[in-house]
Homo-oligomer: A and B are copies of this chain.
Amino acid sequence: MPDALRVGMAGLGTVGVGVLRLLESNRDLVRARAGRGIEVVAVSARDRSKDRGVDLSRVRWADSLAELASDEDCDIVVELIGGAEGDALDLARAALSQGRGLVTANKALIAHHGLEMARLAEENAAPLKFEAAVAGGIPVVAGLREGAAANAIERIYGILNGTSNYVLSEMEASGADFGDVLADAQAMGYAEADPAFDVDGTDAAHKLAILAAIGFGSRIDFDAVSVSGIAEVRAADIAHARTLGFVIRLVGVADCEDGPEGARLLQRVRPCLVPKQHPLAHVTGPTNAVVAEGDFAGRLLFQGAGAGAGPTASAVVADLIDIARGRTGHPFSLPVDSLVAMERADPGHRVGRDYIRFTVADRPGVLAEITAAMRDAGVSIESLIQQGRAQDGNGVLVAMVTHEGEERCVRHALELLEDSDSLTAAPLVLPILRD
């Protein structure tokens, strides 16, 4: 059997400890499947004295990340520090530049610097893998890169953030409002003390940008992802959606649109109304699910735990096994120079249906004003719900679902209503996910 693959690990938080536990507990199995051992020979973490419940006696402590990155005894650096910039970025650059492979669970790093990382990897013939960066333990990076490799991918979408999905499905189950459910989720450990990146859609956007780049063979373009989070979704919206046959989920959608000047990319993370019969409607709790639509394979669904020490460690070690076996390939499925810089699509001409919720003053004529604006903008209303007062006592909620129409029409209708003093709060528009 060849020599073991020697790993230097940066970061010993829950995921780092999970990787050590996995390599210990499944040692024989990993060796058999990798064709050689996988050994963590060096680590770097802030606090050396902390008891992490794993045996570190045979592991060398690197005094700095720079030392780890240039450690001749390491074939691969596993980066579990997190963050798009700073230490993680410095380490990744240093490791790849010196020809050391990089395995990372860091979605922010790849979303922001994936192209640079892939280029460094290519120039230095160093493997770069990041299965753990997208959807935790679900092998969706490999599923897209290899499993669906024969397909032109037309659309990738999914539930990419476990915390938001937990919050939305709890709101659905309990009827409680966003703030209360989030506080409970934090108390129970399903949401971080600072849940901003989870509930504002940023985390899902990181993952979506990575998936889109792999699926479409394009240069990663995180800045092009349009993002809205779930903080504006009220219990009343979930109730309205239910009445209309939908649930609400935070969905990231990447579309590859054909246009006269080549393909254009549209990437959006938004709370959506999902038809109850759609596979994503049944995804509850802190679960992730990704759908890729291929021109030959059809609709492929990958679902599982999107976070947590065990699932993330499973993905990190799957990458290490691939590297140990020599199964590397291009990080984004194509050589860097073949990755296309896709134009951004203008969503205005896209055809779809929307749920629109208005908070309005409780007085005659308001509904006439709204429906007139819809008519003037060419928006056709399929159904309308007016139910009770807004929770804060500051108006009445009116919700509607539009017929299929161009998105710019809805945008125009809202512009017409922008200065109306009938609206006591900004309207909320939630797209309806295509079935």
Q: Which residues of chain A from 297 to 330 have a CB within 8 Å of any chain B CB?
A: 297-305, 308, 310-311, 313-318, 320-322, 325-327, 329
A80 to chain B, nearest CB (A): 15
Which of B32, B139, B310, B329 has a CB less than 8 Å from the CB of A148?
Answer: B139
A295 at the interface (CB under 8 A from B): yes
Residues from chain B with a CB closer than 8 A to the CB of A295 are 25-26, 310
CB of B321 within 8 A of CB of A298, answer no
Which of B296, B300, B326 has a CB less than 8 Å from the CB of A22?
Answer: B296
A30 at the interface (CB under 8 A from B): yes
Query: Which of the four size classes fits the interface of chain A?
Result: 35 or more
Given contacts A146-B322, A152-B26, whether A297 and B304 have CB atoms under 8 Å apart is yes
CB of A217 within 8 A of CB of B32, answer yes
CB of A300 within 8 A of CB of B138, answer yes
**Bound complex: CA A305 to CA B152 (Å):** 16
**Bound complex: CA A338 to CA B34 (Å):** 13
**Bound complex: CA A338 to CA B217 (Å):** 38
Mask, A14-48, CB within 8 Å of B = 1, is: 00001000100110011011100000000000000
CB of B333 within 8 A of CB of A310, answer no
CB of B150 within 8 A of CB of A32, answer no
Residues from chain B with a CB closer than 8 A to the CB of A32 are 217, 334, 338
Q: Besides A26-B152, A149-B318, 19 other CB < 8 A contacts?
A: A25-B295, A26-B296, A30-B149, A33-B149, A33-B333, A34-B149, A139-B143, A139-B146, A139-B300, A143-B147, A146-B321, A148-B314, A151-B314, A294-B314, A299-B304, A299-B305, A301-B301, A302-B302, A327-B327
Give residues in A with beta carbon < 8 Å to B: 18, 22, 25-26, 29-30, 32-34, 131, 137-139, 142-143, 146-152, 217, 277, 279, 282, 289, 294-305, 308, 310-311, 313-318, 320-322, 325-327, 329, 333-334, 338
| Listed A/B pairs (14) with beta-carbon separation below 8 Å | A26-B150, A26-B151, A30-B149, A33-B333, A142-B143, A150-B315, A279-B282, A279-B303, A296-B314, A298-B304, A298-B308, A298-B311, A303-B303, A325-B329
